[in-house]
Structure 1
Amino acid sequence: MHASTGTETKFAGSSCNDLVTSDGAGSTIISGHFDKRIRFWDIRTEMSANDIMLQGKVTSLDLSRDNNYLLACVRDDTIQLIDLRMNTIVRSFSHESFKVGCDWSRAAFGPGGRLLSVGAADGAAYVWNTHSGRLETILKDHTSAVTAVSWHPQSGLLASVDRGKRAVIWGDL
């Protein structure tokens, strides 16, 4: 049994759909909300440190391995890349056929952070290059909205799952 170091409660201010911790000490928490905000919390203080307003509900967050970048999947059918060193959006990813499939759609960085993937309402997984902003590929093998994607941590293997409970493993990307 571990000794408790204490519990602290924060008032989120809006329905929170996802959160990540952005530093090794765990003193900064980033939360994505249905009120279109990403909030930054310093656990040593009472209030949110600051926030970023987006154009739609935030459905998921993913942190790059170096803790410098944050992906936000947004219900305005975009994926926003945020540089956490400046707390600014540095790139927006979208495509005419890409539509976020649900309020809990997950976007994820690939290993090394060069690629990102997200599922879509049309049953496809979209893969973008984070450096160029270019859409690399559209992987279509689902018959219902893709709700989550996950990359193997050391390879280019990508898994996706849809609302119909079907999972697909995609080869090295």
Structure 2
Amino acid sequence: MVVFREHTLTGHSNKVMAARFMGNSGGAGKVVSGSQDRTLKIWDLRSRSCAMTIFAGSVCNDVVATDWLATGIISGHFDKKIRFWDARHQKNAVSEVEFQGKITSLSLSKDLKYLLACVRDDSLKLLDLQMNQVLDSYSADGFHVSCDWCRAAMSPDCSLVAAGSSDGCVYVWNVSSGRLEKVLREHGTSVIACTWQPGGNFLASCDKNKRIVLWSPV
């Protein structure tokens, strides 16, 4: 189930792994969700109902909306594929890209041009959505993606990418050079999620013991 304020949107038959607003700041009144039931669902928040179900073919670990018109969707899956969808044509993916590991998370740049994927082969992949190709890959000795739903993040200015590791560290790479910039040590167990403050000056990370660490400056 997906909960919106006091309203419950019911339809998924298994765990909901991700939900995102569609359209400009959610102005379209729609949310897309991805689930372990192998479907994506588009929800109409005005009618509080499911407007569309997309059968994705594999467990969905993360999903993002890719345009201001609330038509483009990208989903990351257990079967090692990223799928691209047009919400106006729900039956088949427009295209897909396959990697060497399960896709655990997706992070979209503010200008909607770049996509960061966290892959279970212990790497992050940066995709150019206009060219539909991988621009760079980020990895390091000691970095191991901690779980199937590990969340990596791209900084608001697209200069840095960050991801937590099973060794309790947060790894930060420089996007343009591909170089590992920092290894942040504070957590005592696997780090499962990272997110940037909108201004880009702070990074927050969360571990399996429910501890959140705020890093500044990064």
TM-score, normalised by the number of residues in structure 1: 0.96
Structure 2 residue aligned with 1:101:
146
State the alpha-carbon separation in 1 of the partners of residues 48 and 209 from structure 2: 40
Aligned position for 2:209: 164
CA distance in 1 between counterparts of 2:100 and 2:213 reads: 31
Cα deviation, residue 26, structure 1: 1.6
Structure 2: gaps spanning 5 or more residues: 1-44
Structure 1 distance, partners of 2:152, 2:49, is 32
> 1:5 offset after TM fit, Å?
9.3
Identity %, equivalent residues: 49
Deviation at 1:162, TM superposition (A): 0.3
Measured in 2, the distance between the counterparts of 1:97 and 1:118 equals 12
Shift of 1:2: 2.6
Confirm or deny: 8 A CA contact 2:101 2:120 kept in the other structure. yes
- Consecutive aligned runs of 4 or more in structure 1 exceeding 2 Å deviation: 1-6
- Mark the runs of 5 or more structure 1 residues left unpaired by the alignment: none
Please say if 1:23 is aligned against 2:71.
Answer: no
Kept in 2, the 8 Å contact 1:81–1:89? The answer is yes
Q: Distance in 2 between the 1:155 and 1:85 partners?
A: 24
Report the alpha carbon displacement of residue 6 of structure 1 after superposing the two structures with TM: 7.0
Find the partner of 1:41 among 68, 78, 85. 85
Which structure would you say has the larger RCO, counting Cα contacts within 8 Å and 6 or more residues apart? Answer: 1
* Aligned counterparts of 1:5 and 1:34: Cα–Cα separation in 2: 27
* Residue 155 of structure 1, CA deviation: 3.4
Partners of 2:124 and 2:47 lie apart in 1 by: 40
**1:4–1:99 distance in 2 versus 1, CA, 3 Å:** closer
Contact 1:155–1:172 under 8 Å retained in 2: no
1:7 aligns with one of 51, 62, 72: 51
CA contact (8 A) 2:118 2:150 kept: yes
What is the CA deviation profile of residues 67-115 of structure 1, one whole-angstrom value per residue up to 9, with x for unaligned ones? 0000000000000000000111110000011000111100001121101
Letter in 2 for 1:14: S
Cα 1:72–1:155, aligned 2, differ >3 Å: closer, same or farther? Answer: closer
Cα contact 1:31–1:39 (8 A) shared by 2: yes
Task: Tell me, in whole angstroms, the C-alpha distance in 1 between the residues paired with 2:77 and 2:47.
Answer: 32
- Tell whether the 8 Å contact from 2:157 to 2:200 is kept in structure 1 after alignment: no
Of the candidates 116, 128, 137, which is equivalent to residue 83 of structure 1? 128
**Matched letter for residue 206 of structure 2:** V
Deviations 1:34-91 (A, max 9, x none): 0000000011112100100000000000000000000000000000000000111110
Contact 1:151 1:158 in 2 (8 A): yes
Say whether the 8 Å CA contact 1:73–1:106 is kept in structure 2: yes
| Pairs aligned (count) | 173
Matches within 5 A, 1:118-133: 118-133=163-178
Give TM-score, length-normalised by structure 2: 0.77
